[in-house]
Structure 1
Amino acid sequence: MGDKRRILIVGGGFSGMSAAILLAEAGNAVDLVEIDAGWRSYGAGISLNGGIFRVFARLGILEAFKAVGSMTDGVEMRSPADTPVARLPTPSLQEGATGNGGILRPVLAKLLSDRVRSTATKVRLGISATGFDNRKDGVTVTFSDGTSGEYDLVIGADGLYSTTRAAIFPDAPKPRYIGQAVWRAVLPLPAGIETVTMWIGSKLKYGVNGVSDGRAYLFVTEDRPTNDRVPEDAQLEILRGLLQGFPAKTVQDIAAGLNADSQVIYRPLEQMLMPRPWHRGRVVLIGDAVHATTPHMAAGAMIGMEDAVVLADELAAQDIEGALTAFQDRRWERCRMVVENSGRLAEIEQGHGTPEEHQRIMGQTLGALAAPI
């Protein structure tokens, strides 16, 4: 509303960085604290729903993304033997962009952190928030380095295992393992792959998506009834073995080419949707801290970054109390849909549904995500 507010963002991931950019450029005094002193982003590639390009344009990084990421159209689905099954359309939602894309996670993180640094945001690394005196008119926050600060608003953007959520909402639901894990690796872009391509088997889903000129990342979703630890030194050979169930030549060529430089990453899949309210006093949660989804719709990063856009818009239009209520009301249904539909896709892939339902839910969800933020 034109007043300069003191705002703390806890967490320097995609959602937190997006909020910092927009709120600092709106004239607020923004502090961002990130527990990782190196401000690193771990992971291989990330698939991007086309709606994220609307957010990139708003953040001012769309053109920079084009230089280091990949833009494609459509999602191609094939059988394990490489027979085409379906092609889901992904129409462009942003001028100058395509319907989906991909990028390496560390590359996207650097685009965003450079953009944060270009604003007046005060970034403090290797620091966490350890205490909140949350009042109706503000929050006193204590930090792990012994300092403290006074804020008009605190935004918890500290991910699936959010300490902010634990402090403000001690009875919030815990992350839930969904019976699947995902394997990822980086590789040369296979010949004949022009867009996001997935092979669907009875217990595995395998996919390839471009992330930049000449490179791609693969993702393999594996049914695992129990959340067991997988030793890092065994992961490469396990992933190669998983791919043996797909006779498609493209898949076999990729399996043969996997090596120590493929950056293989294994991650159990968990989800969490916190019931409303998403704010208490002057503390609000965004991103994975409040609606962590599995990657089945390639929309987790997008909906978290959309949170930042909506919250910034509402804070610019009205007082903090009204803005937090409006933010929650605008975001609930969209985020609920992504979390629950992604969870249902996981169930179907584990044998509790049909391929036809899988395709229908994917198509319906892509259509819903094309709606305005």
Structure 2
Amino acid sequence: MSIPIKSALIIGGGFSGMSAAIALSRIGVEVTLIEIDPNWRTDGAGITVSGPSMRAIEALGLLPVFLQNGCLHEALDVFDAKGDLLKQIPMPKVPGSDIVGGGGTMRPAFAKAMGEVVRSMDISVKLGVTYTSISDGEDQARVTFSDGSDDNFDLVIGADGVFSSVRRDYFPGAQEPKYTGQGVWRAVIPRFGVKNSMQYLGKNSKFGFTPVSEDEMYLYYTQARPTKERIPDDQLLPQLNALLAEYTSPITRDISATLTDSSQILYRPLEGMLMPRPWYRGRLLLIGDCVHATTPHLASGAGMGHEDAVVLADELSKGGELISGLERFQNRRWERCRMIVANSHRLGEIEIEGGSPQEHTQIMALTISALLAPV
């Protein structure tokens, strides 16, 4: 069956954009990817990846690449601030996959490896370039670029992140991401022989760490912070050490003691949004954080972008009219993305309010189970 497009432009070279480029190229679409950063950099420390997100990575043919740059774990161990075990949440075998458990990787390393895959394929990559206008026509969309060139495409995909320019420019009235009242700290630390991903629930915060290699883990700490603000670089280490003082188990004390100015400490305010349907307008489609930006509480942010790519390619492969394929895509993705965004937001509320640890662990366990369903 013939697919409804022959060419596609993808705006944005992050995880969602690269995943879409790979997925569409593999079904025979001529893909052009543009990225405004001439160096194609990815900021950040590590990321935790759920088992269902690993399934999407596998479907994209990227599992070997992930395993070269990360590692898997089979459970999430949840403790209170003193180190008493509250619950072990197993990461079962993912249906439709050989994967057992979730994973962790350094974000820049995996992004670089994905970029190398994109470059190895028949995909045109243009760096330091963005769009200046997109005109939707009956047969194709006309796009002009910041380098003065222009071209026609059967489909234009906005994958330019939570603060998407494509959304702002071509979906008037679309909601903007909102600050959640919480920020996340991240750092890179020694692994200390840790086997599973581990999480500690404090009074108004959460502290955890995920293995990302044989020798390293990445640390995360979610903090209730009423205002959205930037932390000066010289305050990152002392402020994070002060925050971790609440957690008194031996391993958390050891971890705190290893933190230095070279631990790649980062702080980022957490924002989220779920854009109501439609996610497309004519031949222009939004994917990833452009439409379903979530907080990291369920380790599914990047994974939702990987899943978008898998589902989009699957629906377009069914043939028929382009608009029908885009409609099927958004409707197939809606409830799953809504659940992740809503449940992640609720987990953040519980942490900010100092709410029930039992509700927190129950939401995590039930959501992980629900995500095992096919995408």
User: TM-score, structure 2 length as denominator?
Assistant: 0.97
Structure 1, residues 309-364: CA drift from partner, whole Å, max 9, x if none?
Answer: 10011111122111100001100000000001100111111116422211121111
Distance 1:64 1:304 in 2: 17
Residues 36-55 of structure 1 mapped to structure 2, 5 A cutoff: 36-55=37-56
Would you say 1:299 and 2:300 are equivalent positions? yes
Matched position secondary structure for 2:211: strand
Structure 1, residues 227-273: CA drift from partner, whole Å, max 9, x if none?
Answer: 12211221111111111111111111111111121000110000011
1:170 maps to 172
Quote the offset at 1:95 in angstroms.
4.1
| Count of residue correspondences | 372
Would you say 1:184 and 2:186 are equivalent positions? yes
Counterpart of 1:218, as a letter, is L
Distance 1:330 1:124 in 2: 31
Residues 25-40 of structure 1 mapped to structure 2, 5 A cutoff: 25-40=26-41
Quote the offset at 1:208 in angstroms.
0.8
2:163 maps to 161
**Aligned residues: percent identity?**
47
Divergent runs of 4+, >3 A:
none
Residues 244-255 of structure 1 mapped to structure 2, 5 A cutoff: 244-255=245-256
Contact 1:198 1:207 in 2 (8 A): yes
Matched position secondary structure for 2:156: strand
Matched position secondary structure for 1:51: helix
Contact 2:65 2:110 in 1 (8 A): no
Counterpart of 2:341, as a letter, is V
TM-aligned CA distance change 1:352 to 1:275, over 3 Å:
farther
Distance 1:275 1:96 in 2: 34
Would you say 1:84 and 2:53 are equivalent positions? no
Q: Which sections of structure 1, spanning at least 5 residues, go unmatched?
A: none
Would you say 1:2 and 2:8 are equivalent positions? no
Quote the offset at 1:7 in angstroms.
0.4
2:117 maps to 115
Contact 1:102 1:209 in 2 (8 A): yes
Would you say 1:100 and 2:99 are equivalent positions? no
Q: Which sections of structure 2, spanning at least 5 residues, go unmatched?
A: none
Residues 128-167 of structure 1 mapped to structure 2, 5 A cutoff: 128-167=130-169
Matched position secondary structure for 1:350: helix
Distance 1:296 1:124 in 2: 33
Structure 1, residues 65-91: CA drift from partner, whole Å, max 9, x if none?
Answer: 222211001110011111111111211
Residues 304-323 of structure 1 mapped to structure 2, 5 A cutoff: 304-318=305-319, 319-323=321-325
Would you say 1:339 and 2:341 are equivalent positions? yes
2:258 maps to 257
User: TM-score, structure 1 length as denominator?
Assistant: 0.97
Contact 2:65 2:114 in 1 (8 A): no
Structure 1, residues 173-216: CA drift from partner, whole Å, max 9, x if none?
Answer: 0110000000000011024x211100100111000100011110
Matched position secondary structure for 2:91: coil
Please provide the CA RMSD for this pair. 1.2
Counterpart of 1:206, as a letter, is F
Matched position secondary structure for 2:59: helix
Distance 2:342 2:154 in 1: 33
Matched position secondary structure for 1:178: strand
Structure 1, residues 3-25: CA drift from partner, whole Å, max 9, x if none?
Answer: 56110000001111011011112
Contact 1:315 1:323 in 2 (8 A): yes
Distance 1:183 1:137 in 2: 47
Contact 1:61 1:111 in 2 (8 A): no
2:240 maps to 239
Contact 1:71 1:101 in 2 (8 A): yes
Distance 1:97 1:110 in 2: 23
Distance 1:352 1:276 in 2: 34
Matched position secondary structure for 1:339: helix
